[in-house]
Structure 1
């Protein structure tokens, strides 16, 4: 935690300052508003993701450069789709082509705004994509992980397209999409599978191991299995858990709403915790991945929004008990962080 606060977070904020300056210069008002809002509201996504830079060793700064740029694309596009002037799946698909290009150093950048009215971002999205490509293009061994990052990135993009179309089409599209994957993951519900695809953690782990010079085909395959679906699913289900009231107010899709009752939700969250425990033991640096796992639980449950949720106290107590002692450490550590920085959310 000392290293995180002393070295990693300051490096993240340095990278974000660069993107904030570029975002301020975006000519189109709507694109500028969403770019700035996505950084202001979701800085903690970049902070959390950048912890994976520890795995990159001497190339940690390059890992942070990639993670911040890639996560900023993700958060920016999420804002564009969530608060969109468009409900066109073709538009959402084209926007998210930028994420596939960011993971493919040889790809040319494209007109990602082709299907929407707002187009002039002054090169902001292209610069984000090119930054990712620059890091990956110089990363020795990336060819061994490219298929895995693209697979995870493609699932993420599919989710963003399906969940942002007109309201009456969202659930049928997501259910139909899950049917294509049900055979591989029969133990999941459609809304759980959707949650599992919504995380960028597996990509950050793969890229960081690559930059650290430790990747091979076997490790790349194991990272994918260890992170998808359960670690990523736990990450996003926790994210949806804390946003339940907010999403109900905004009329946004929330996957936690599809559990029949709270006991079922608690049982399934514990299942994700247990499966994540099992899978990350198969990775090198298991203590690091365990820290991430328990840190996710502790940090999300310490969010200020949790206190406003019904039955939150018993839910938090049970989840911390199931997740291990480090989860409790992160829970209280994050609570203290909130008190020290009252204007910030982590």
Structure 2
């Protein structure tokens, strides 16, 4: 097995090697979630799997960077992304607006990246408690894989750094509506001088992705290693690749978030033209930032595949006011984006059948 370096070999490997493994591990977690005693926790666990399967499908593509350890890497990615999606549901759609509760829940994401960390009661600040060990089992699954990585110690500081950005974002953006923006702006001010020129909502988007973590874990599973690699990966994925990822996620969720009263970073652009301009900038910077990585073609295709996967989503067709902007984004993504766009559209048609 080799890391795919062309668009068609990448798509072939996604269909043949990534999706079957992803669905196998995800189905196991779905069966576990069905047995959760507490009805609210069970509901949110199942919804997070049913509605966000494509998060695991997309993340698991990074398993292709670990051709000799693809099974264990995808096992990690599915478990870690499932934690992320489950907690997002618990914070976004459930019964609490307490930042202390959100912080405690998200300790699980930090513990999942620390192979010998003992579990705690992550639900200790909320009424719902009984999950039959579901969240703890997800954490344990991640830890088990990390204990086998030849170069875990080299990537560990960067994994924790990226996870802390993610956890802080989740806490700040899920509190009472009137507190969200002030908290996020204050948080951004702490990092502003270290970041390229961007707004507070773009920084927040950069913090909200798990792709850098998946990339680091995949490389850490390889036998060969460069001491500069973990720093290179972290700086390549944060901020630009991760920011592109999450801005796309918010772009297609605008109507849904407007109805639900949820925070959406795309709402803060002064116009759709400005939004499209910044998307173009994020694509350009993301491509530049991965150009010096090993397997640079793979990473380039990931950037353009992100554009395609999100813009082929059925949500775009339901929102006429964003369709023209979506077309512009596809156009500046180039031929590779259009290729992945067609594949994404066909794949969704096949899934319906």
TM-score in same-fold range (> 0.5): yes
Match of 2:312 among 298, 302, 313: 302
Q: Are the aligned partners of 2:206 and 2:244 in contact in 1 as well (CA < 8 Å)?
A: yes
Which residue of structure 1 lines up, in the alignment, with residue 215 of structure 2? 205
Which residue of structure 2 lines up, in the alignment, with residue 264 of structure 1? 274
Cα pair distance change 1:57/1:120, threshold 3 Å: same
Distance in 2 separating the partners of 1:338 and 1:94: 36
CA drift of 1:2 comes to 1.5
CA RMSD, 1 decimal: 1.0
Distance in 1 separating the partners of 2:350 and 2:237: 32
Match of 1:2 among 12, 19, 30: 12
Match of 1:24 among 34, 53, 62: 34
Distance in 1 separating the partners of 2:212 and 2:149: 17
Q: Gapped runs of 5+ residues in structure 1?
A: none
Q: Are the aligned partners of 1:302 and 1:331 in contact in 2 as well (CA < 8 Å)?
A: yes
Q: Are the aligned partners of 2:150 and 2:222 in contact in 1 as well (CA < 8 Å)?
A: no
Which residue of structure 1 lines up, in the alignment, with residue 255 of structure 2? 245
List per-residue Cα deviations over 1:28-63 (Å, max 9, x = no partner).
111011001100000100000000001112100000
Which residue of structure 2 lines up, in the alignment, with residue 140 of structure 1? 150
Map 1:208-287 → 2, pairs under 5 A? 208-287=218-297
Counting matched residue pairs gives 343
Which residue of structure 2 lines up, in the alignment, with residue 154 of structure 1? 164
- Compute the TM-score of the two structures, normalised by the length of structure 1: 0.97
SS of the residue 1:324 aligns to: helix
Match of 2:116 among 106, 111, 123: 106
Provide runs of 4+ in structure 1 moved above 4 Å: none
Map 1:177-196 → 2, pairs under 5 A? 177-196=187-206
Distance in 2 separating the partners of 1:19 and 1:314: 38
Q: Gapped runs of 5+ residues in structure 2?
A: 1-10
Q: Are the aligned partners of 1:73 and 1:125 in contact in 2 as well (CA < 8 Å)?
A: yes
SS of the residue 2:124 aligns to: coil
Given the alignment of the two structures, is residue 80 of structure 1 paired with residue 101 of structure 2, yes or no?
Answer: no
Distance in 1 separating the partners of 2:20 and 2:14: 9
SS of the residue 2:315 aligns to: helix
Q: Are the aligned partners of 2:273 and 2:325 in contact in 1 as well (CA < 8 Å)?
A: no
CA drift of 1:193 comes to 0.2
Distance in 2 separating the partners of 1:107 and 1:205: 22
CA drift of 1:342 comes to 2.1
Cα pair distance change 1:62/1:174, threshold 3 Å: same
Q: Are the aligned partners of 1:101 and 1:109 in contact in 2 as well (CA < 8 Å)?
A: yes
Which residue of structure 1 lines up, in the alignment, with residue 8 of structure 2? none
